[in-house]
């Protein structure tokens, strides 16, 4: 029996029989739909993903909390010099420099830091800064790493050698050490028009530090992809190198990009906290979880909430990104061995 | 000098409480003790103690070092022609002969100082000391340059300016005779505190031929009871007893009892706990005990901890007169009017004494009993008035950079000050610099810093030592100490006139110094926010009562003894 396909091609014999069988079956699931189905089944990953979104939303609402609920700004030290509780004449910091603990009132809900600032307000504003730096740094890493990785993997030869050596130099330094060095130098002089206290400075520093961690695996994948027949076919059709890289290779890296993004984001947020703790990241009086931990160290014996609160937020944020990222990786490519080595 | 500590009254208290008697038949050091200490009858020699410093010295090279952390060890390794008595309180402020046989003979209306070098002096490397080494030492301090060279050397010694500008090959105002050991110094004009200048570690003799460069990691040999060795930059150094010292037999400068390992550790909490738990011995008095640990110290270490009232130090905020917004007096008045000293005191764990005058309470000329021109410092500041003054000045909205050190509570003070400036109408941001390079950074005129943290402890008990920071003659392109670039003709004239009066005759001009200090406060050239008290804190290993808290140099490391 002969069968005509939708394009008008005629099949006969076994092929025609198979086609006839398949006409009654539902359509196949594409790779993205399959990934989404896997992810949906991973309740843990979804829960932590939801937690991360909640943290982001709450941090974005920092100005609302500050103005409408706490009525105090993140750098406001007014209650060093006047009592915040007129009835009890209580100051945010005692005469011997010990800040108050959680009050469970709208102002100083989570207590005060050693400078008399509201911890809850700084926690949210600090979260905004930490997340902003994390996202910007991740974007810088991904964009530059993709450019370098695709270029070196596609063209190979001299440019591959040069780019690889450049990546090896960055990778040879421990991330924290390199970050502290760059951060310290740039904190005083700034970068070009950016002054040293701009949040973009630590974001750029962190973004540069993590480039090799993405560029190298991307390069490895591109080395494989460039040998595939569809790339060959594109070459045969006379497409330019740029067109091939953009339209043939890059889409095949999509799952890698998606998997790397949360991993780099988590590490960027952690590195920002470490750099700021070491004095090379966010500059005072800007808040970040790292500055809060750094500032709170000196008051641990008498006011450990100053370290505990930002520490818990940092752990929850990084944990939620990592767990969600793991779920995403399992959903997109269960056999992937993508890791960030330190 | 920067960040020093001078307990003005502790000697009186100690002497009233008990006096340690030297054991018969053995050499001993006279000690005084606080009421709560137990005192041995003889000094115990030998052993090593560990001292924790929160900030590294700016340089251990005496030709450069000008912070308290530098002067503490340098004083004992580089003795000058004169030096200070090794005693607590005001007795420690007395100038005594050092490498000279006697205090200088002052002639020619106070313009000529003559001394004779002791015989048989040796540097710590064994090289004999010659009179001409003094000229070389002074030239080196000019060339490096030492931060005090502008005010104390080139401004005072004849021919020093020509030498510093390259117009002369040597300093014509210093003549020496190596054969007789005679040193004669001619000044441009009478300078009453010159005996004290000769006592600076920076004028402590070093051998001729020592490079004219800062050598912080390998300080040159000197003459003193100690030598500096094992320098690990920003980490540690050792002060070991000079074996050649005892044979030189210089009266009034005792040999040390122990060697000292100084470790730099910026974690003040950890330092406090280390000394409390006896894993280190001495807490550097230039650091501040964290408020959160004060209750613990008071309950567990009351016999080896006390807060000593300096009387000789001032904490202030400098304001650059040559740059907006503080070129406007109204803007400066806004700061002085609105800044809350109680808030600053809270950040300093309650260790500040309130005040508004540049001269601290122990210095002659401090206006005791005179009300502050811009309100009672204890009242908490008047923000509304400060805002009004800023508006009147026309400087509202001016961007301001506040310079700060990293260590606490100085960074916390400047964070609060930054927030305060924003509150009264400026656009302030904070710039934090590592402690060891802070003063050299803001002392670079190219940077033109607008405002930030500063402090001063008496180099010697003479108000001219403080007013060098506000004198136009002290403005230098690098290593500048007049951070606010104050250049007021009245101040300059008064400093020149009153500075010529010898320290021994200061009381005769006390009223004029007071008038000058009141003038400075009214002009709001600086924003004084308190006079610091400092911790005297040791481990149980140390003979607490015998340890001297020197009014000029802080801890007298040569007085440390193990029990």
Determine the average pLDDT of the residues in B538-551: 94
Which positions ≥6 away from B238 have C-beta within 8 Å?
B228, B229, B230, B259, B260, B261, B262
**pLDDT tens per residue, range A269-320:** 888 888 877 767 777 778 889 889 888 887 888 889 999 999 999 999 999 9
pLDDT > 70? residue B56: yes
Name the residue facing A95 among B346, B419, B431 (closest C-beta): B346
Burial of residue B395 (CB within 10 Å: 0-12, 13-18, 19+) is buried
- Under an 8 A CB cutoff, do A77 and B419 touch? yes
Q: Are strands B282-283 and B48-53 parallel, antiparallel or unpaired?
A: parallel
Residue B11 confidence class, pLDDT cut points 50, 70, 90: very low
CA atoms in the 13 A half-sphere facing the CB of A200 = 7
**pLDDT above 90 as % of chain B:** 70
Query: Which of A221-225, A246-250, B122-126, B382-386 is predicted with the least confidence, judged by mean pLDDT?
Result: A246-250
**pLDDT tens per residue, range B31-44:** 233 333 334 445 67
pLDDT > 70? residue A7: no
- Under an 8 A CB cutoff, do B412 and A115 touch? yes
pLDDT > 70? residue B14: no
A25 touches B at CB < 8 Å: no
Residue B2 confidence class, pLDDT cut points 50, 70, 90: low
Residues of A in contact with B348 (CB under 8 A): 97
Name the residue facing B429 among A97, A197, A298 (closest C-beta): A197
What was the pLDDT predicted at A183?
A: 67
In angstroms, how far is the first alpha carbon of chain A from the final one? 63
- Under an 8 A CB cutoff, do B430 and A301 touch? no
Report the alpha-carbon distance of residue B212 to residue B139 in Å, rounded. 9
What was the pLDDT predicted at A237?
A: 87
Torsion from C-alpha of B153, B156, B161, B164, nearest 10 degrees: 0
Determine the average pLDDT of the residues in B198-223: 96
Q: What secondary structure letter does DSSP report for B474?
A: G
Burial of residue B350 (CB within 10 Å: 0-12, 13-18, 19+) is middle
**Both tokens assigned to B299:** 């309950």
Determine the average pLDDT of the residues in B349-369: 90
Q: Report yes or no: B70 and B59 within 8 Å, Cβ to Cβ.
A: yes
Nearest residue to B537 (alpha-carbon basis) of B275, B259, B349: B275
Q: Indicate the SS3 state at residue B528.
A: strand
CA atoms in the 13 A half-sphere facing the CB of A155 = 17
What was the pLDDT predicted at B403?
A: 94
**pLDDT tens per residue, range A217-244:** 999 999 999 898 888 888 888 888 888 8
Residues of A in contact with B420 (CB under 8 A): 77
Residue A184 confidence class, pLDDT cut points 50, 70, 90: low
SS3 of B146-161: the string is CCCHHHHHHCCECCHH
Q: Which residue has the tokens 């304001």?
A: B319
Residues of A in contact with B350 (CB under 8 A): 95-97
What was the pLDDT predicted at A200?
A: 81
What was the pLDDT predicted at B328?
A: 97
What was the pLDDT predicted at A62?
A: 95
A297 touches B at CB < 8 Å: yes
Residue A190 confidence class, pLDDT cut points 50, 70, 90: low
Q: Indicate the SS3 state at residue A13.
A: helix
Report the alpha-carbon distance of residue B257 to residue B251 in Å, rounded. 16
Nearest residue to A218 (alpha-carbon basis) of A148, A274, A166: A148
**pLDDT tens per residue, range B272-326:** 999 999 999 999 988 988 888 888 898 999 999 998 875 789 999 999 999 999 9
pLDDT > 50? residue A334: yes
Identity of the highest mean pLDDT range in A84-88, A207-211, B417-421? B417-421
Residue A192 confidence class, pLDDT cut points 50, 70, 90: low
Q: Which of B342, B412, B420 to mutate to test the interface with A (most CBs of A within 10 A)?
A: B412
Report the alpha-carbon distance of residue B126 to residue B123 in Å, rounded. 5
Determine the average pLDDT of the residues in B221-233: 96
What was the pLDDT predicted at B501?
A: 87
Determine the average pLDDT of the residues in B514-536: 95
What was the pLDDT predicted at A3?
A: 58
pLDDT > 80? residue B61: yes
Report the alpha-carbon distance of residue A111 to residue A90 in Å, rounded. 12
Torsion from C-alpha of B462, B464, B469, B473, nearest 10 degrees: -150
Q: Which of B383, B384, B408, B419 to mutate to test the interface with A (most CBs of A within 10 A)?
A: B419
B46 conformational bin, left if phi > 0, alpha if psi -120 to 50, beta if neither:
left
Q: Name the residue in chain B with its Cα closest to that of A185.
A: B433
C-alpha B152: how far from chain center: 14
Report the alpha-carbon distance of residue B411 to residue B391 in Å, rounded. 28
Report the alpha-carbon distance of residue B502 to residue B477 in Å, rounded. 29
What was the pLDDT predicted at B6?
A: 33
**pLDDT tens per residue, range A113-164:** 989 999 999 999 999 999 999 999 999 999 999 999 999 999 989 999 999 9
Report the alpha-carbon distance of residue B521 to residue B554 in Å, rounded. 28
Q: Report yes or no: A96 and B291 within 8 Å, Cβ to Cβ.
A: yes
**Which stretches of A53-163 are assigned E, i.e. beta strand?**
none
Mean confidence (pLDDT) of chain B: 89
Q: Indicate the SS3 state at residue A191.
A: strand
What was the pLDDT predicted at B13?
A: 33
Residue B140 confidence class, pLDDT cut points 50, 70, 90: very high
Counting every residue written for chain A, the total comes to: 342
List the domains of chain A with CATH numbers: 32-342 (1.10.3720.10)
- Under an 8 A CB cutoff, do B268 and A298 touch? yes
Residue A5 confidence class, pLDDT cut points 50, 70, 90: low
Report the alpha-carbon distance of residue B64 to residue B317 in Å, rounded. 24
Q: Look up the ipTM and state it.
A: 0.71
Q: Report yes or no: B361 and B464 within 8 Å, Cβ to Cβ.
A: no
A47 touches B at CB < 8 Å: no
Residue B364 confidence class, pLDDT cut points 50, 70, 90: confident
Q: Is the four-CA dihedral B59, B64, B70, B76 of positive or negative sign?
A: positive
Nearest residue to A183 (alpha-carbon basis) of A291, A314, A340: A291
Q: How many contacts, defined by CB atoms under 8 Å, are there between A and B?
A: 104
What was the pLDDT predicted at B24?
A: 36
**pLDDT above 70 as % of chain B:** 92
Q: Measured between CA atoms, how close is B348 to chain A, in angstroms?
A: 7
Measured between alpha carbons, how far is residue A4 from residues A9, A24, B348 in Å? 5, 16, 89
- Under an 8 A CB cutoff, do A97 and B347 touch? yes
What was the pLDDT predicted at B30?
A: 28
Q: Indicate the SS3 state at residue A229.
A: helix
**pLDDT above 90 as % of chain A:** 38
Residues of A in contact with B267 (CB under 8 A): 297
List the domains of chain B with CATH numbers: 10-259+538-559 (3.40.190.10), 313-534 (3.10.105.10)
What was the pLDDT predicted at B8?
A: 34
pLDDT > 70? residue A194: no
Q: At what angle do helices A200-209 and A175-189 cross, to 10 degrees?
A: 150
Q: Show which of residues 179-198 on chain A sit within 8 Å of chain B, judged by CB atoms.
A: 187-188, 195-197
**Both tokens assigned to A291:** 């500055």
Report the alpha-carbon distance of residue A236 to residue B186 in Å, rounded. 92
- Under an 8 A CB cutoff, do B292 and A299 touch? yes
Q: What angle do CA A326, A332, A335 make, to 5 degrees?
A: 75
């Amino acid at each position: 029996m002969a069968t005509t396909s939708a394009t008008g091609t005629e099949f006969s014999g076994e092929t025609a029989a198979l086609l006839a069988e398949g006409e009654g079956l539902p359509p196949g699931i594409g790779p993205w739909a399959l990934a989404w189905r896997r992810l949906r089944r991973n309740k843990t990953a979804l829960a932590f993903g939801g937690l991360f979104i909640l943290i982001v939303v709450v941090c974005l609402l920092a100005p609302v909390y500050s103005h409408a609920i706490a009525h105090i700004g993140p750098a406001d030290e007014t209650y060093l010099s006047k009592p915040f509780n007129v009835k009890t004449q209580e100051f945010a910091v005692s005469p011997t420099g010990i800040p108050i603990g959680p009050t469970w009132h709208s102002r100083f809900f989570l207590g005060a830091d050693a400078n008399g600032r509201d911890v809850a307000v700084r926690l949210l504003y600090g979260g905004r800064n930490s997340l902003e730096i994390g996202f910007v740094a991740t974007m810088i890493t991904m964009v530059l790493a993709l450019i370098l990785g695709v270029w070196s993997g596609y063209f190979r030869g001299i440019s591959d050698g040069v780019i690889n050596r450049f990546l090896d130099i960055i990778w040879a330094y421990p991330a924290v050490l390199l970050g502290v060095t760059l951060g310290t130098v740039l904190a005083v002089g700034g970068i070009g028009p950016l002054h040293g206290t701009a949040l973009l400075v630590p974001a750029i520093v962190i973004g540069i530090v993590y480039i090799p961690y993405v560029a190298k695996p991307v390069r490895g994948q591109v080395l494989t992809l460039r040998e595939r027949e569809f790339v060959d076919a594109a070459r045969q059709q006379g497409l330019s190198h740029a067109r091939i890289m953009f339209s043939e290779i890059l889409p095949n890296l999509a799952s890698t990009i998606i998997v790397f993004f949360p991993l780099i984001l988590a590490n960027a947020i952690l590195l920002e906290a470490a750099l700021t703790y070491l004095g090379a990241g966010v500059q005072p009086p800007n808040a970040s979880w790292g500055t809060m931990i750094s500032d709170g160290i000196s008051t641990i014996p008498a006011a450990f909430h100053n370290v505990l609160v930002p520490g818990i937020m940092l752990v929850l944020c990084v944990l939620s990104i990592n767990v969600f990222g793991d779920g995403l990786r399992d959903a997109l490519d269960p056999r992937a061995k993508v890791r960030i080595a330190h | 000098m920067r960040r020093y500590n001078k307990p003005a009254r502790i000697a009186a208290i100690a002497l009233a409480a008990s006096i340690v008697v030297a054991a018969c038949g053995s050499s001993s050091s006279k000690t005084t003790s606080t009421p709560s200490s137990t005192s041995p009858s003889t000094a115990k020699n030998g052993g090593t103690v560990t001292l924790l410093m929160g900030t590294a010295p700016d340089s251990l090279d005496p030709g450069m070092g000008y912070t308290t952390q530098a002067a503490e060890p340098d004083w004992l390794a580089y003795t000058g022609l004169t030096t200070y008595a090794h005693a607590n309180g005001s007795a420690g402020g007395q100038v005594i002969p050092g490498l000279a046989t006697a205090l200088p003979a002052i002639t020619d209306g106070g313009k000529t100082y003559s001394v004779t070098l002791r015989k048989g002096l040796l540097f710590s490397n064994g090289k004999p000391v010659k009179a001409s080494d003094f000229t070389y030492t002074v030239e080196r301090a000019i060339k490096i340059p030492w931060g005090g060279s502008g005010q104390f050397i080139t401004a005072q010694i004849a021919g020093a300016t020509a030498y510093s500008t390259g117009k002369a090959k040597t300093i014509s105002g210093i003549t020496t005779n190596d054969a007789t050991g005679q040193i004669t110094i001619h000044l441009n004009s009478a300078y009453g505190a010159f005996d004290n200048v000769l006592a600076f570690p920076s004028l402590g003799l070093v051998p001729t031929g020592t490079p004219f460069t800062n050598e912080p990691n390998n300080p040159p040999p000197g003459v003193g009871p100690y030598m500096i060795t094992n320098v690990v930059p920003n980490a540690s150094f050792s002060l070991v007893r000079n074996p050649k010292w005892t044979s030189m037999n210089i009266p009034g400068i005792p040999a040390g009892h122990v060697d000292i390992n100084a470790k730099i550790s910026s974690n003040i909490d950890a330092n406090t706990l280390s000394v409390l738990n006896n894993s280190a011995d001495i807490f550097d008095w230039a650091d501040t005990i964290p408020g959160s640990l004060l209750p613990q110290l008071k309950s567990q270490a009351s016999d080896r901890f006390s807060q000593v009232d300096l009387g000789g130090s001032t904490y202030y905020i400098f304001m650059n007169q040559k740059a907006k917004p503080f070129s406007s007096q109204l803007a400066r008045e806004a700061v002085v009017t609105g800044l809350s000293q109680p808030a600053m005191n809270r950040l300093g764990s309650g260790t500040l004494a309130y005040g508004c005058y540049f001269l601290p309470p122990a210095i002659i000329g401090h206006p005791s009993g005179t009300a502050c021109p811009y309100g009672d410092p204890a009242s908490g500041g008047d923000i509304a008035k400060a805002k009004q003054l800023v508006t009147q000045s026309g400087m509202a909205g001016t961007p301001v950079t506040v310079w700060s050190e990293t260590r606490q509570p100085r960074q916390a003070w400047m964070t609060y000050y930054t927030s305060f400036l924003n509150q009264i109408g400026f656009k302030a941001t904070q710039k934090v610099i590592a402690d060891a390079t802070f003063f050299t950074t803001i002392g670079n005129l190219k940077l033109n810093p607008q405002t930030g943290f500063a402090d001063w402890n008496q180099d010697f008990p003479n108000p001219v030592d403080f007013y060098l920071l506000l004198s136009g003659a002290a403005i230098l392109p690098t290593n500048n100490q007049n951070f606010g670039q104050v250049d007021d003709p009245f101040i300059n004239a008064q400093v020149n006139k009153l500075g010529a009066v010898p320290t021994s005759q200061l009381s005769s001009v006390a009223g004029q110094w007071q008038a000058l200090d009141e003038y400075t406060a009214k002009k709001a050239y600086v924003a004084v926010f308190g006079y610091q008290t400092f911790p005297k804190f040791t481990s149980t290993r140390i003979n607490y009562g015998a340890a001297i808290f020197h009014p000029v140099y802080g801890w007298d490391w040569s007085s440390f003894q193990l029990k």
